[in-house]
Every structure is written in C-alpha cells, then in structure tokens.
Structure 1
Amino acid sequence: MASDIKHVTFRNPDMYWDIAADIYFPPGFDESKSYPAIVCAHPIGSCKDQTSGNIYATALAEAGNVAIAFDASFQGSSGGTPRFLEDPAQRVEDFRRVVDYLVTLPYVDGDRIGVLGVCGGGGYTLNVAMTEKRFKAVVSITGVNYGRMLRDNTGDGLLDALRGVGVQRTAEARGAEGVVNGMLPPTAEGAQQVGDIDVIEAFDYYRTGRGEAANGCVLFEAAHGASALGWDAFHLAERLLDQPLLVVVGDKQGAFGAYRDGLEIHERAASTDKELLVLKGVSHYDLYDQPVGAGEALKRVVPFFAEKL
C-alpha cells in the first residue's frame, strides 16, 4: 500500500468553492526530495474514493510517484452548487486548478507531471491535455467522450432533450425546485432487463459493496446539461494532442462506447508517441478495479509514466 494519504482542500483565485483531493505518497517519501506527480480523474457520477484513487493513484504512488485524486467541482467532497453538475468546461478547468496547486508543493517536480483519467474522466483528460501542456504524459483508461455518449444514447430525441433542459432551467429561474436524475436502474433486476453490459456492470460497481461510496452517486443535475450535449472531447485532437499518449480499452463493448472512443482518439491524436492497449475479454468496469482489467492495465501504465516523466 502507499505509505500515506493526505486529505487536502484548496481554492484557486477564480473559484468560490474548494476542491477536495487526496494526495498519495510513495513508500519512504522524503519531503526534501522532488517527485514526479500524476493527476488522477474519476469517472462521471463517481468520486475520488473510487477507481481513480483507491486503484490507480494507489498503484502509481507505490511505484514511486506522488499521485493526486481529486473530486470534480460540484461533486464528491468538492464545493460548488448546484450539486451533481456535470459541466465539461468546469470539469476540464478543474485539471488546471489541480496542477496550479501541485506546482506550489516543494516536493513536486513541475516539469514531470502526468495525467490519468477513467471513463468520462479519461475523456476529460484527453481534452485538457490538448491545451494544458504542463501535462507531459497522458493516460486514458477506458476513456469516454462524454458528449458523444450522451448524443448517441439520446438518439433522435437530442433536440427535444435540449429543449427540455431549457424548460427546466426557466422553471428553476422562476423558483422551481432543482431536478437530479439518476443514470442507473433502481435494482439489479432492472439493470439486467436493460441488457447492456455497461449498465449491468455499472450497477454492480456503484450499487454494491464492490465499489459503492458515499459520494459516488451517479446522479446528474438536469437544468445545466445543455453544454454537455453539445460538447466533443476530441475536437482538435489531430492538431493539439501531442504529448506521449497511452490509451487503454477492453474489447467487450457496451453502450458507453469506450472501445470505439479509444480507437478513434488513438487514430486522431497528433502525438507521434502513442500507444493503444486493447485488453482481450475485458469490459469497461473490469478496468475500474478487477485484476484482469485494471491490474493488467497497470502493468503498462506504471512503466509508461516512468518512461515519459
């Protein structure tokens, strides 16, 4: 296990709320030394206590890095209202805020900072790396282009969904209560009836002792969802995403579309140093915490960061 975890909060000058994060220190940590640092981003509807922290940040710290897993603004233990807001612009900006904090720590080498994200956090990781060049190496774990996922799963109802967001926002501006929607069916049986592997395994991860956490609610605020429906994580990747890149996906495909997104971003990224790791017989949620998924991914992720940072 990592030798120590420090719970921190910080606030940037552009913010009215705190970001909460956990810093994972390597064994034998010496504050007088300088270490590479890796920012770890959680999935949509998740929190730092789940896969980004307890699996990936932990393993990266054990390997000799300082790793920081943070809660997105409006989510988890971070501040901001309305709660459960999933705004891509804010999610991307949070990464910069975390780096701003890291470079103030005397034991962090500001020239050796990497970034890793899981699921929607992987999509945000790929997007922010296009314009945040303090990130020197980039890893996407079963990364999902959140805007593409929403549009695909909304289908022909996309324009109606956008109109519905506007109606809800107007209602709240006039004093109505906010609305929060859940992504998952209420029961395991309901998930099975949906019949999609990503939905079934999402329920197993988020709603059982396997991955359940107080702040991993898989809830989404409704009145501010328009920007996500029109967002594309991969826009300009062929011009701007030039850092060393590792994309990890499993080949068992579900409705969230991580496999297709992984192949697309690997093809489109401007980087001349890029790698696509496709794990056979591995699902989206295997890459959250299972030995066959996350365990196998880390066998490449750890040396990747060691080589690139």
Structure 2
Amino acid sequence: MTSSVIRHVTYQNLGWESAADIYLPQDFDESRKYPAIVSTHPIGSCKEQTSGNVYAAALAKEGFVVIAFDASFQGASGGSPRFIEDPAIRVSDIRFAIDYLVTLPYVDEKRIGAIGVCGGGAYTIHAAMTDHRIKALTSITGVNFGRLIREGFSNFDPVSALEAMGKQRTAEAQGGARNVINYLPASVEEGKKNGVTDIDVLEATEYYKTPRGQKPNGATSGLFSFNSAAMGWDAFLHAEVLLTQPLMIVIGDKPGGFGAYRDGWEIYGRAASKDKHIVIAEGWSHYDLYDKPEPVALALARAVPFFKEHL
C-alpha cells in the first residue's frame, strides 16, 4: 500500500453497536503487531471529522493503527434516544474501543494510546485515569464538558438549567416531543446578527456549518433533557492520584468561551503524570487545531514523537 487504508467496522458496546473507522499504516502487514491509538471526536462531531480525517489519518501515516469511533447515540453508532451527550457513556465508549482493538491480531495490546479533540480530549483524559491499558495520551484543545455545561452552556445558572431539564425529561417521558437543541447558530452571519461575539462559537459555526468541516453525521446537536448527566461530572476528578501515564496537552493561545486554554493549564498542573508536557500553539485558536495545516502540523510535530517514545 502507498497510502492509508480505512476499514469500516462495528463492534458490541453495552446494548447497541458502535461504528468506527480503522486507519491502517502505509504498507500495512497483517502479520505484524502495531501500536494502536484510540481517537475520540469532539462534542457534536463524528468520526469523519477532525478525530478521523485529520488526526487518525496523520497518525496512521506514522505507523500506528488508529481507531476513530462514533459516540454512542450519535453518528453511525447505535443507541436510543439519539443525541445523548453523557460523559460517563462517552468515557465508556473509549473503553469499548480498546476492547475491540485488543481482539485484533495485528494490534499490540501492550502499546495502546489515546488522543481526543475538544470534548474528546477531556473524555480521553478521564478514560486514562480508570483504564490503564492506555499507556500514553494526548489531548488536543481539550474541553471539560462538565465545567462548560455548568458555566457557559447554562448561562452560569446550572440549578435553573437542571430544573428546566427535569421538566423537559418529565414531558418527554409522558409522551412529549424530544427537545434536540443545536449547540451552534445556523451560520456565522446569523450568529453575529444575534449578538454572538465569542471566538469559539463563531469559529465552531464556520467549521461545522460550512464545507470546511461539514459531514452528514456532524450534527452539533444535543438532547436537552439528558444533558443533566454532565452537570455533576468533572473530567479531571482524581487526576492528582489516578492520571499517571505520560500526558501531552496541546492548546492554542487564543482563549475562547469553551475554555480549552484554561482547562489545558488546569489538567497539566493537576495530573500526577511524571512525564507531562503542554504545547502552546502560539497565534492559533481552538478550532484552528481541528484542521488548519499549520497548527495541526505543530501539534503532530510533538504528538508523533511522544507516541513513538511511549508506545
């Protein structure tokens, strides 16, 4: 082979199946054992976006077997109702991806790493704390969804938001219509017209709502009534004790409302990892690190040798 090949697979999760793409290295040889990496997509994203077509593809070209999967209840993965964003299940998804990897004869089960983007970066951090089959991990502009939903996503009034979510869940349980919210405006123009000024919201819209990053399953949607599960969750809980693996944090230095810059510095300080690094992409933003060639190359220039050293 002269370029990476993608295998489309499904495997058993809890009561449903997960869908994933496996990116194979150039000149892949089924009889060899390869180091493997789980790549986790952002909130409201899918496996065909940055976690797959950017980071998984690049890492596969460097000799890793990389699995990019769709979160449960999202994309091509199973689970009902749709568009649930439950951090505990998202972390569990990473464990099931590892379960699948260790069944593959060409994967070295002792050399498994993990990478994630945005919310997927923080889910990767949390998964590594309780699944030490992950030997090294990289968070690309990682966002702690628990903190974000308690703050900006609830207008800094989480108790009122919880009351509204509870009422909506009761209504749905009694036969009412599901309230699937879109996290983003329909377009950058609409966002600006409605007074949106935050760099992360506007750049997310430019990524997800235009041909730049748009994919059929990149829904940017969430089931409002089920978002209450995230309110009591913290991606970094117990990091001082349980997060001991080699860790790399990559963040841009243009802070936005989703908080990757502050979250990156927080987990870098809190992690028990003796081998930990923080990489600042100077002059770049959260969404630049999704797919812009220059900041992505900067991230990979550090992440690739990091994974080669530890896997």
> 1:239–1:270: 8 Å Cα contact kept in structure 2?
yes
Structure 1 residue runs without a partner (length 5+): none
What letter is aligned with 2:7?
Answer: K
Alpha-carbon separation, structure 1, partners of 2:92 and 2:296: 27
- C-alpha distance in 2 between matches for 1:5 and 1:206: 23
Q: What CA distance in whole angstroms lies between the structure 2 residues aligned with 1:150 and 1:36?
A: 35
State the partner residue of 1:158. 158
**Alpha-carbon contact 1:2-1:58 (below 8 Å) kept:** no
Equivalent pair of 1:147/1:231 in contact (CA under 8 Å) = yes
The residue type paired with residue 27 of structure 2 is: G
Tell me which residue corresponds to 2:10: 9
* Distance of 1:308 and 1:50 partners within structure 2: 26
Whichever residue aligns with residue 174 of structure 1, its letter is Q
C-alpha contact (below 8 Å) 1:184/1:202 kept by paired residues: yes
Taking the aligned partners of 2:186 and 2:70, their CA distance within structure 1 comes to 24
Whether the aligned pair in 2 keeps the contact of 1:2 and 1:24 (CA below 8 Å) is: no
What fraction of aligned residue pairs are identical, expressed as a percent?
Answer: 58
1:111 corresponding residue in structure 2:
110
Contact 1:41 1:117 in 2 (8 A): yes
Q: 1:301 aligns with which of 289, 300, 303?
A: 303
Tell me the CA shift for residue 150 of structure 1: 1.1
2:260 is matched with which residue: 250, 258, 261?
258
SS at match of 2:254: coil
Alignment correspondent of 1:181: 181
Contact kept in structure 2, 1:245 and 1:275, CA below 8 Å = yes
- What SS does the aligned partner of 1:282 have? strand
Report runs of 4+ in structure 1 exceeding 4 Å deviation. Answer: none
Query: Which amino acid counterpart does residue 61 of structure 2 have in structure 1?
Result: E
- What's the secondary structure of 1:251's corresponding residue? strand
Query: Is this contact kept in 1: 2:186–2:209, CA < 8 A?
Result: no
The one-letter code sitting in structure 2 at the alignment partner of 1:6 is R
CA contact (8 A) 1:92 1:125 kept: yes
User: What is the root-mean-square deviation of aligned Cα atoms in Å?
Assistant: 1.0
From 191, 194, 201, the counterpart of 2:196: 194
Name the structure 2 match of 1:25: 24
Q: Which amino acid aligns with 1:43?
A: P
The question of 1:134 aligning with 2:136 is answered no
Residues 157-213 of structure 1 deviation map (CA, whole Å, 9 limit, x = unaligned):
211100111101111111111110001112221333301110111011000010000
1:260-289, CA deviations, whole angstroms, 9 ceiling, x for partnerless residues? 000000000000000000110010001000
The separation in 2 between residues aligned to 1:169 and 1:248, in whole angstroms, is 37
1: CA distance, partners of 2:99 / 2:156: 41
Q: Which residue of 2 aligns with 1:214?
A: 216
C-alpha displacement of 1:229: 1.5
TM-score under structure 2 length normalisation: 0.97
Say which SS state the counterpart of residue 81 (structure 1) adopts: coil
Opposite residue 9 of structure 1, the aligned amino acid is T
Match of residue 66 from structure 1 = 65
User: In the alignment, is the contact (CA less than 8 A) between 2:4 and 2:57 conserved in 1?
Assistant: no
Letter in 2 for 1:247: I
Tell me, in whole angstroms, the C-alpha distance in 2 between the residues paired with 1:191 and 1:277: 31
Q: For each residue in 1:121-143, what CA deviation from the matched residue of structure 2 results, as whole angstroms up to 9, or x when unmatched? A: 00100001001000000100000
Q: Is structure 2 residue 96 aligned with structure 1 residue 97?
A: yes
**TM-score, length basis structure 1:** 0.98
Distance between the aligned counterparts of 1:191 and 1:148, measured in 2?
23
Could you tell me whether the CA contact under 8 Å between 2:140 and 2:289 is conserved in 1? Answer: yes
2:205 partner letter:
F
Which structure 2 segments of 5+ residues have no match? none
Task: Please give the secondary structure, in 1, of the residue aligned with 2:45.
Answer: coil
SS at match of 1:232: coil
Q: Distance in 2 between matches of 1:47 and 1:294?
A: 18
Partner residue in 2 for 1:40: 39
The alpha carbon displacement at 1:156 in A equals 4.0
